[in-house]
């Protein structure tokens, strides 16, 4: 059964933002490891809008995320993906498929 995974968008000391997996001891910029079929949301805890877009391979992940909101819709993972913020292209992250969902 697919799990719901979360990535928190956090503000760094220098005022920029980073993507941080919502797992114990995760650091900003660390990839999120998931199973194929898991669903991912982004929780924007900054005071600026952010919009994760897939760049490798290109594609849609979710809609623009206003400050303080959670992404909609969820992203159903079927492959490893590199993404960046459409508003702030230097902010980037990875979702890495580490296992295949078994029935």
CATH number of the domain enclosing 39: 2.60.40.420
pTM exceeding the 0.85 threshold for the entire prediction = yes
Helix, strand, coil shares, percent, the chain, to 5: 0, 45, 55
Q: Is the peptide bond before 73 cis (omega within 30 degrees of 0)?
A: yes
Q: Which domain holds residue 60?
A: 4-99
What is the per-residue pLDDT for 87?
Answer: 97
Query: For the chain, how many structural domains are there in total?
Result: 1
User: What is the full per-residue pLDDT of the chain (103 aa) written as tens digits?
Assistant: 889 999 999 999 999 999 999 999 999 999 999 999 999 999 999 999 999 999 999 999 999 999 999 999 999 999 999 999 999 999 999 999 997 655 4
């Amino acid at each position: 059964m697919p799990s719901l995974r979360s990535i928190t968008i956090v503000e760094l000391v220098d005022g920029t933002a980073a993507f941080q997996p919502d797992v114990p001891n995760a650091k900003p910029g660390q990839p999120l490891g998931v199973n194929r079929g898991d669903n991912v949301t982004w929780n924007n805890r900054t005071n600026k809008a952010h919009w994760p877009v897939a760049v490798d391979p290109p594609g849609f992940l979710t809609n623009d995320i206003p400050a303080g909101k959670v992404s909609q819709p969820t992203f159903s993972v079927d492959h490893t993906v590199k993404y960046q913020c459409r508003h702030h292209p230097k902010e980037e992250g990875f979702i890495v498929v580490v296992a295949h969902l078994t029935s």
